[in-house]
């Protein structure tokens, strides 16, 4: 069973949206039992808070309604647990590298290698964020199927 964690700054918008979207894609493809999908924050400022209401509304609008979430922080100790650690932007990647100190297994990647997914907390554009995350999750799933032989 492969373990994937999506990471953003506060774990209340982008990374929980990615967690919910990836779980839905896995469910649709019949691969849900082969993966554990979670999300975490690089910052403690939102720890324990639920998914941001506008992010949750966007998921519901897109047909993902069975999702509840409370922000949790990514810690150095979690590095060994996950097989894939997926950040949303360059700042997330930088923060993750500071947290783990050494990505010796090369687990840390950006969801879109050449593109930052902007934080809708600031942009207020939850539709674009959803679309970008969904596209990234679809590409990640295709890559995992090829890589893991699913």
DSSP assignment of 89-109 equals SHHHHHHHHHHHS--TT--EE
Residue 62 lies in a domain: yes
Of 12-16, 87-91, 146-150, the range with the lowest mean pLDDT is 146-150
Q: In the annotation, is 14 catalytic?
A: yes
Mean pLDDT of the 95-103 span? 96
Report the chain's mean pLDDT, rounded to a whole number: 96
Residue 131 lies in a domain: yes
The domain in which residue 115 lies consists of 2-145
The CB density around residue 146, as the number of other CB atoms within 10 Å, is 9
Write down the number of H helices and E strands in the chain: 5, 4
Which one from 8, 13, 40, 137 is the annotated catalytic residue?
8
pLDDT of residue 66: 87
The C-alpha atoms of residue 82 and residue 2 are separated, in whole angstroms, by 8
- Tell whether the model's pLDDT for residue 148 goes beyond 80: no
The tally of domains found in the chain comes to 1
User: What 3-state class would DSSP assign to 134?
Assistant: helix
Which one from 13, 89, 119, 137 is the annotated catalytic residue?
119
User: What 3-state class would DSSP assign to 133?
Assistant: helix
**Inter-residue contact 54 to 126 (CB < 8 Å):** yes
Mean pLDDT of the 68-72 span? 96
Instruction: Give the orientation angle of helix 126-148 with respect to helix 53-61, to 10 degrees.
Output: 70
Summarize pLDDT for 101-144 with one digit per residue, the tens.
999 999 999 999 999 999 999 999 999 999 999 999 999 999 99
Which one from 13, 14, 40, 137 is the annotated catalytic residue?
14
- Tell whether the model's pLDDT for residue 150 goes beyond 60: no
Q: In the annotation, is 8 catalytic?
A: yes
Residue 27 lies in a domain: yes
Phi and psi, residue 87, nearest 5°:
-90, 160
Residue 150 lies in a domain: no
Give the domain CATH number at 17. 3.40.50.2300
- The model's confidence at residue 149, banded by pLDDT at 50, 70 and 90, is low
Residue 16 lies in a domain: yes
Residue 35 lies in a domain: yes
Residue 77 lies in a domain: yes
Residue 38 lies in a domain: yes
């Amino acid at each position: 069973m492969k373990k994937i964690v999506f990471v953003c700054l506060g774990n209340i918008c982008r990374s929980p949206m990615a967690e919910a979207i990836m779980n839905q894609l896995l469910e649709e493809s019949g691969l849900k039992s082969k993966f554990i999908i979670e999300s975490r924050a690089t910052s403690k400022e939102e720890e324990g808070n639920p998914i941001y209401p506008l992010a949750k509304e966007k998921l519901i609008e897109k047909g993902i309604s069975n999702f509840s979430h409370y922000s949790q922080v990514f810690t150095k100790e979690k590095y060994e647990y996950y097989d894939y650690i997926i950040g949303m932007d360059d700042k997330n990647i930088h923060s993750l590298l500071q947290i783990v100190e050494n990505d010796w297994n090369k687990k840390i990647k950006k969801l879109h290698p050449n593109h930052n997914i902007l934080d809708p907390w600031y942009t207020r554009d939850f539709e674009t964020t959803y679309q970008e995350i969904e596209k990234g999750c679809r590409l990640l799933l295709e890559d995992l199927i090829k890589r893991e032989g699913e």
